[in-house]
């Protein structure tokens, strides 16, 4: 199993662990941002990080993998590749997460949900709702980084890097109070 120090080393080496004032996809603010896309642009890091997720769920008899767009797509694709499973993604349209592009889930299919970073688990929870609404069964939930420190509330959730990263509601954010400009690097509003 890959160590916490090795994962943090990958993030630091690729410039993927950012410091500043960020608005996360959840709406919370943080002085730290995990830009997984910068790590996942390197196939050897993608393979290594996703192997940890695969190791947790390979024996679950999964039928497919699904990820929320945009951040989870690369993670989902690599987990699906390693497990030789069909891989799809859900995407936001008109403000809600939807299964589109002809993707489908049959009743009873066992599905692994993958994401890059989880803070509150909001996007993953939306995808889980889609899967269950179509009669699918959640075989597990995996992410590269759990920045909730294990407090996301997601069931059967695994991430090789668990951090209790600082987050603030915008109305009590000390960085906002200092007048530090906020960056919004997430994909929530991607067009």
96-99 vs 86-93, strand pairing mode: antiparallel
**Which domain, by its residues, includes 30?**
4-177
Residue 83: partners with Cβ closer than 8 Å, 6 or more residues away: 54, 57, 58, 62, 65, 112
Q: At what angle are helices 4-13 and 43-57 packed, to 10 degrees?
A: 150
Instruction: List the beta strands (DSSP E) in 60-104.
Output: 64-68, 86-93, 96-99
Low pLDDT (below 50) residues in the chain:
191
Residue 37: partners with Cβ closer than 8 Å, 6 or more residues away: 16, 71, 74, 116
**What's the confidence (pLDDT) of residue 187?**
58
Q: What's the structural domain count of the chain?
A: 1
**What's the confidence (pLDDT) of residue 112?**
98
The half-sphere exposure of 175 on its side-chain side, counting CA atoms within 13 A, is 19
Query: Does 191 fall in a domain?
Result: no
Query: Does 190 fall in a domain?
Result: no
Residues 103 and 124 sit within 8 Å (Cβ to Cβ): no
- CATH classification of the domain holding 161: 3.40.50.2020
Query: Does 185 fall in a domain?
Result: no
137-146 vs 157-158, strand pairing mode: parallel
Query: Does 187 fall in a domain?
Result: no
Nearest alpha carbon to residue 142 among 41, 26, 69, 56: 56
**What's the confidence (pLDDT) of residue 114?**
98
**What's the confidence (pLDDT) of residue 24?**
86
Query: Does 182 fall in a domain?
Result: no
Token reading at 26: 């959840």
Give 22-40 pLDDT, tens digit per residue: 998 888 899 988 899 999 9
């Amino acid at each position: 199993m890959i160590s916490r120090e090795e994962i943090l080393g990958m993030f630091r080496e690729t410039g993927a662990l950012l410091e500043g004032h960020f608005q996360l996809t959840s709406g919370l603010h943080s002085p730290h941002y995990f830009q997984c896309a910068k790590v996942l642009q390197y196939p050897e890091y993608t393979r290594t990080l996703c192997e940890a997720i695969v190791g947790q769920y390979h024996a679950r008899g999964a039928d497919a993998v699904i990820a929320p767009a945009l951040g989870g797509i690369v993670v989902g694709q690599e987990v699906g590749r390693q497990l030789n499973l069909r891989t799809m993604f859900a995407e936001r349209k008109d403000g809600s997460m939807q299964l589109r592009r002809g993707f489908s889930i049959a009743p009873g299919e066992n599905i692994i949900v993958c994401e890059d970073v989880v803070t509150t688990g909001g996007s993953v929870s939306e995808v889980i709702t889609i899967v269950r609404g179509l009669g699918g069964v959640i075989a597990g939930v995996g992410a590269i980084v759990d920045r909730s420190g294990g407090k996301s509330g997601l069931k059967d959730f695994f991430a090789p890097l668990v951090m209790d990263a600082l987050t603030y509601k915008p109305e009590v954010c000390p960085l906002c109070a200092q007048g530090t400009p906020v960056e919004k690097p997430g994909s929530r509003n991607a067009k």
